Every structure is written in structure tokens, then in C-alpha cells.
Amino acid sequence: MDRNELIKQILLKKSFLCVGLDPDTQKIPKHLLENEEDPIYEFNKQIVDATAPYCVSFKPNTAFYEAYGLSGLHSLEKTIQYIKLNYPNHFLIADAKRGDIGNTSAMYAKAFLNRLDADAITISPYMGSDSVKPFLEYKDKWAIVLGLTSNEGSADFQQQQLNGKELYLHVIETCAKWGNENNMMFVVGATKVQMLSNIRKIVPNHFLLVPGIGAQGGSLQEVCKYGLTKEIGLLVNSSRAIIYASNELDFAEKAANEAKKIAEEMKIILDNNQ
Amino acid sequence: MDRNELIKQILLKKSFLCVGLDPDTQKIPKHLLENEEDPIYEFNKQIVDATAPYCVSFKPNTAFYEAYGLSGLHSLEKTIQYIKLNYPNHFLIADAKRGDIGNTSAMYAKAFLNRLDADAITISPYMGSDSVKPFLEYKDKWAIVLGLTSNEGSADFQQQQLNGKELYLHVIETCAKWGNENNMMFVVGATKVQMLSNIRKIVPNHFLLVPGIGAQGGSLQEVCKYGLTKEIGLLVNSSRAIIYASNELDFAEKAANEAKKIAEEMKIILDNNQ
């Protein structure tokens, strides 16, 4: 999906919500575990159907599938195929946080952007240029580079001063030169909103993927205050707060309610942004 | 496998060679692609059998399996099972370069250290403490954290000054506090040997996993000059130079020859290190 199409979908839906698909068998409803042959896929399918009207993007996190071995990876493939088939206008992010030397990153790019046909993949930038560039070689596909993450550990390296500037700013500034606004986004955690204004000075137009809303405590209003642009420039992700809103029979309905609440808040923000 | 056992195996074999299993269908012998149901697994099996006498470790890189989807991941599982069954004294590294927020890293740890039962997994440290610590919670298992990698892109961030010290030194120093010599190693590229002495000042006893020998141009002698300790402290990896020594019928024999050459060089170095 290209940038224009993504913006079009956001304006059409008045939502820039991304729903994170992190299925954990400790948390998904028991009736699925007991009755379904592939409970992870069934869980995802119902969550996707229920939340699709309120979001423009889905983001399966690969860890939650790899943890269940081949069967989990099969659930991931089926989930992605289901979304591609039924919701082709939703922006599909493989949250994989990959990155390796050039020839190896090329293999990861092939795995996620070609074989699985995701629109985007998240990338860990620690290994530098040749670890990032292979992900930029696919038309209308995106590399979403970790900039400033939402977790406690982001203080250990990302927020340290590198040549007089925080590492995350250095990473965003440097990586932005390897790609452009049409093939690169950055992950910027919602729990660090005051830093968003510094990031916007460096990348005024790039889309930012913002996790940390909901379970991790980030505020949508604050994120938008510092991060929203005329062309939106934000995909805001919520995973746990939506998909685990209930673990009873009504889990999909409750997930839809949570997604709808966020989408309504987004609509007001977008209407005021005109 | 614990540290004592790893050192014991190295001294027994007089080798600290790790063979990287990066199967690429563009490079593996045609007769395997034509005749075998699972050419990747068959390739690995023959490489493992041929090189096992000369190495103490195998390191499949997950990208080279993920690129082939579920069938590739099945080949990876079979390869790991084959090694665990037939070569239980070889140290098995899942070269996955994972790392995410705490609850997600815990899922990756489960996937690789529990389900696949690898001895170790490589970790990208960009997201900090909570992204690394879940990998340290498994007895006799190891987190191998990226310190200074062997690729060109390591100059972009790793070698930049952070608070007056290169980022890679900061990463190694900080991560070393989260684990210890019995559950943590660091990746240090062989193409940056002069920096090894700085690293050894910070982690005098930790094992270092050193890629970049062979195809990437690193020198074993140089690596050992700066990196070898009384308790060895090195696992030196070679992938392409060994596994693609030939792509004809004799590929396993040629791979064994290459591994043997390195092992003989290692034997001399170890004998001189007594």
C-alpha cells in the first residue's frame, strides 16, 4: 500500500488506529482453546472482523506466533491471508523487529514483504545501513524502524547522548536518509510524548507508528498534540487494551467497543485537524 | 549447556569453531534441489555430519529458513532436532537477533530456548534491559547480545561516540551487568579486531561469538591475539566459506576440508595458549 492510499483510508474511516494481534493462549478465551482446532487463528479472525470497521491497520507481532512453533506460524500465515483477502484496504504490519547483515536482511525482507506479502515490517536499526536497506527495495512496501520505543529499557541506550544528541534522534535522522516518506516509518512510543516534538523537527512528514496507547499507559491526545501532521502522519497502535478487553464469550464485541472508543476520539481529533 | 561444559568440549576437540547453517537455495547443490523432498534439511544434515568433528557449535540463522515460509521453518526444526539428537555436545545457537518489550521478548525466549531447545539465541540490544532479561531466565541457556557486528553498517551507530564512549562499548558494559559470564555472550565481528582489546578490558572473561571469518574477511590469528583468554572465551563462526566451499556432489567433503583447516589452525593456537 502506498502513502496516498494509506492517507485516503485514514480520511475515509476517520481513524488511524492499528490493532495489534498478539495472541497469548494464557489470555485468550477458554471456549476458543477448548473448542477450536486453531484457537489462535479463530481468536484473530473474530478480533479482526469485530475491529476492522474502526481501524486502518493490523499488526501481528511475530513473537506471539513463534512461541507456538510451526502451528503458531501456521496461524500467523492464515491470519495474514485472512486479512489480505477480506480487508485488502487495511495496512498490514509484520511486527518482527528484524535486522541483520545485508544478505541476511534481504532474506527477512523476502520472508515478510514478499512471501507473507505484508505492507510493512518493523526493523531494529542497531546493525546500521546494510541491515535496513534491503527492506526498502520492495515497491509500495515499508520499513518501520525502531526509533524511540515505549518500554522502560528505551532509557538504557536510545535516550543516551550520542555525539551530543540522543541516540534515538541520531537513529531517526540517519535512517531517514536511507529511505523516504514513501517507504519508511518510525516506531515512537506513546509513553514518551514530549520527545515527539523533537522527532517531528527531524521527520516532519514521515508516518510514525505509535505503540503504548492503552495497556502501556500512553495518551492519544498527547500523541496527537505533538505528532499529528496535515497528512496525519500517525498510526497509533493498541494491542492488549483492545484484544483482551474481555476473555469471555463476548470478547470480540468488547474488543470492538474498545476500538470504537479510540476511533471516536480519533474522529474528533481529525475533524479538528482539517 | 553450561560454561564448564562448553570449555570442556573446546579443550577436548581443540576447536572453538562454530559452523553457520545459512542454507540458500540459490547456492546449495543442484542435485539436492532436484532429488530431495526437503533439500534444505538434507543440505544441513550432510554439512553437520561432515563438519561436526571439527567444530563445537552450530548456528542456524533463522532468516534463511523464514524466507521459505512454513516449509523453511519445518526444515529449521528438523535441523535442530537432528543436531540435538546426534550431536548433543555441540553448542546450538539460534541466530535470530530478536528483541522486543519484556512480555514479547519472553515469548521469543520461550520459542527458541524452550520449544526449539537451543542453547543460545542472539539478541539485538536496541530496546534495552527488559528486551534482554527474559532471555536470561533459562538455566544453562545463553543470551548472545550484539555488541560490535562485522558489517559495514556497524559504523552507523555502534561505532559512534555515546557519552564519550563508542556505543558498542556502552552496550557491552551495560548488558554485562544484567547477566554474567554463565548466561551471556557478545557478538563481536572479526573484521574489527583492533577493537577487541577495548572489549576485553570490559568483559575479560565473557565468551565472544565472532562472525566474519572467511567470506567477510576476518583473520583468525588477529581475533585470537586480542580475544583469546585462559578459558578460551571465543566461539569463532564461519558460514559461507565452509558451507559453500563447493556446490557439487562433493559439497560436504569440501565443507569438512574447510572446517578442518580452521580447526587445525585453532589447535595450534590452543596448544600455544596452555
Cell numbers describing residue B4: 564448564
Active site residues of A: 97
pLDDT digits (tens, 9 = 90+) for B197-211: 999 999 999 999 999
What is the total residue count of chain B? 274
Q: How much is the average pLDDT of B240-268?
A: 97
pLDDT reading at A23 higher than 90: yes
Q: Closest Cα partner for A157 from B130, B267, B3?
A: B130
C-alpha span between A46 and A4 (Å, rounded):
29
Band (pLDDT 50/70/90 cuts) for residue B137 is very high
The answer to whether the CB atoms of B170 and A157 lie below 8 A apart is: yes
Q: Is A69 on the interface with B (CB under 8 A)?
A: yes
Nearest CB neighbour to B128, from listed A130, A157, A162? A157
The answer to whether the CB atoms of A131 and B108 lie below 8 A apart is: no
The chain-wide mean pLDDT, for chain B, equals: 95
Residue B147's H or E segment, with its range, is strand B142-148
Whole-Å CA distances, B270 to A12, B11, B48, B189, B222: 68, 8, 23, 20, 14
- Scan for cell 566461539, then name that residue: B235
Q: What is the dihedral of CA A98, A108, A130, B105, to 10 degrees?
A: 10
* Closest approach of A230 to chain B, Cα-based (Å): 30
Nearest CB neighbour to B153, from listed A67, A129, A153? A129
C-alpha span between B119 and B105 (Å, rounded):
16
Environment class of residue B204 by beta-carbon count within 10 Å: exposed (0-12), middle (13-18) or buried (19+)?
exposed
Nearest CB neighbour to A151, from listed B24, B108, B128? B128
Q: Superfamily assignment of B3-272 in CATH?
A: Aldolase class I (3.20.20.70)
C-alpha span between B228 and B188 (Å, rounded):
13
Q: Is B170 on the interface with A (CB under 8 A)?
A: yes
Q: Is A97 on the interface with B (CB under 8 A)?
A: yes
pLDDT digits (tens, 9 = 90+) for A86-117: 999 999 999 999 999 999 999 999 999 999 99
A125-152 burial, b for 16+ CB within 10 Å, e for fewer? bbbbbbbbbbbbebeebbbbbbbbbbbe
Band (pLDDT 50/70/90 cuts) for residue B244 is very high
- Could you say which of 3.90.1330.10, 3.50.50.60, 3.40.190.10, 3.20.20.70 is the CATH number of the domain covering A3-245? 3.20.20.70
Instruction: Write out chain A residues lying below 8 Å of B128, CB-based.
Output: 149, 151-158
pLDDT digits (tens, 9 = 90+) for A123-161: 999 999 999 999 999 999 999 999 999 899 999 999 998
A-facing residues of B in 172-211 (CB < 8 A) are 174
Domain boundaries along the sequence of chain A: 3-245
pLDDT digits (tens, 9 = 90+) for B80-131: 999 999 999 999 999 999 999 999 999 999 999 999 999 999 999 999 999 9
* Closest approach of A174 to chain B, Cα-based (Å): 8
Q: How much is the average pLDDT of A4-20?
A: 98
pLDDT reading at A82 higher than 80: yes
Prediction ipTM score: 0.95
pLDDT digits (tens, 9 = 90+) for B48-91: 999 999 999 999 999 999 999 999 999 999 999 999 999 999 99
Band (pLDDT 50/70/90 cuts) for residue A217 is low
pLDDT digits (tens, 9 = 90+) for A36-55: 999 999 999 999 999 999 99
C-alpha span between A6 and A119 (Å, rounded):
11
* Closest approach of A268 to chain B, Cα-based (Å): 31
Q: Please answer whether residues A32 and A45 qualify as being in contact, where contact means their C-beta atoms are separated by less than 8 angstroms.
A: no
Q: Note the pLDDT of residue A190.
A: 82
Q: Is B70 on the interface with A (CB under 8 A)?
A: yes
User: Looking only at Cα atoms, what is the longest distance across chain B?
Assistant: 57
Cell numbers describing residue B118: 537451543
Environment class of residue B139 by beta-carbon count within 10 Å: exposed (0-12), middle (13-18) or buried (19+)?
exposed
For residue B205, the 8-state DSSP code is S
Q: Is B159 on the interface with A (CB under 8 A)?
A: no
Band (pLDDT 50/70/90 cuts) for residue B142 is very high
The residue of chain A with its CA nearest to that of B122 is: A100
Count CB-CB contacts under 10 A for residue B217. 11
A-facing residues of B in 3-42 (CB < 8 A) are 22, 24
Q: Note the pLDDT of residue B32.
A: 97
Indicate the residue type of A9.
Answer: Q
Count CB-CB contacts under 10 A for residue B172. 25
Whether B84 sits among the annotated catalytic residues: the reply is no
C-alpha span between B52 and B58 (Å, rounded):
9
Environment class of residue B31 by beta-carbon count within 10 Å: exposed (0-12), middle (13-18) or buried (19+)?
middle
The chain-wide mean pLDDT, for chain A, equals: 95
Q: Please answer whether residues B128 and A156 qualify as being in contact, where contact means their C-beta atoms are separated by less than 8 angstroms.
A: yes
Band (pLDDT 50/70/90 cuts) for residue A212 is confident
The residue annotated as part of the active site, out of B84, B97, B225, B261, is B97
Phi, psi of B187 (to 5 degrees): -85, 125
Band (pLDDT 50/70/90 cuts) for residue B10 is very high
Q: Please answer whether residues A124 and B97 qualify as being in contact, where contact means their C-beta atoms are separated by less than 8 angstroms.
A: yes
C-alpha span between B76 and B68 (Å, rounded):
10
Q: How much is the average pLDDT of B157-178?
A: 94
Cell numbers describing residue A7: 492517507
Q: Is B71 on the interface with A (CB under 8 A)?
A: no
* Contacts with A6 (C-beta within 8 Å, 6 or more apart), sequence order: A56, A91, A207
pLDDT reading at B19 higher than 80: yes
pLDDT reading at B135 higher than 70: yes
Q: Note the pLDDT of residue A259.
A: 97
Phi, psi of A229 (to 5 degrees): -120, 180
Q: Is B153 on the interface with A (CB under 8 A)?
A: yes
C-alpha span between B138 and A10 (Å, rounded):
44
* Closest approach of A116 to chain B, Cα-based (Å): 8
Q: Please answer whether residues A213 and A166 qualify as being in contact, where contact means their C-beta atoms are separated by less than 8 angstroms.
A: no
Count CB-CB contacts under 10 A for residue B174. 18
Using a cut of 0.95, tell me whether the model's pTM lies above it.
Answer: yes
Q: Note the pLDDT of residue B192.
A: 77
How far apart are the two ends of chain A, measured CA to CA in Å?
24
Cell numbers describing residue B229: 583468554
Q: Find which of A64, A70, A104 to mutate to test the B interface (most B CBs within 10 Å of its CB).
A: A104
Q: How much is the average pLDDT of A6-35?
A: 97
Band (pLDDT 50/70/90 cuts) for residue A215 is low
The residue of chain A with its CA nearest to that of B240 is: A103
- Scan for cell 518482527, then name that residue: A96
Q: Note the pLDDT of residue B84.
A: 97
Q: Note the pLDDT of residue B217.
A: 67
Band (pLDDT 50/70/90 cuts) for residue A163 is confident
Instruction: Write out chain A residues lying below 8 Å of B74, CB-based.
Output: 70
Q: Note the pLDDT of residue B215.
A: 64
Q: Note the pLDDT of residue B273.
A: 86
Q: Please answer whether residues B127 and B100 qualify as being in contact, where contact means their C-beta atoms are separated by less than 8 angstroms.
A: yes
Q: Note the pLDDT of residue B204.
A: 98
Q: Note the pLDDT of residue A193.
A: 81
Cell numbers describing residue A96: 518482527
Q: Closest Cα partner for A48 from A12, A18, A16?
A: A18
pLDDT reading at A274 higher than 80: no
Q: Note the pLDDT of residue A164.
A: 82
Q: Please answer whether residues B112 and B96 qualify as being in contact, where contact means their C-beta atoms are separated by less than 8 angstroms.
A: yes
Q: Note the pLDDT of residue B236.
A: 97
Q: Is B124 on the interface with A (CB under 8 A)?
A: yes
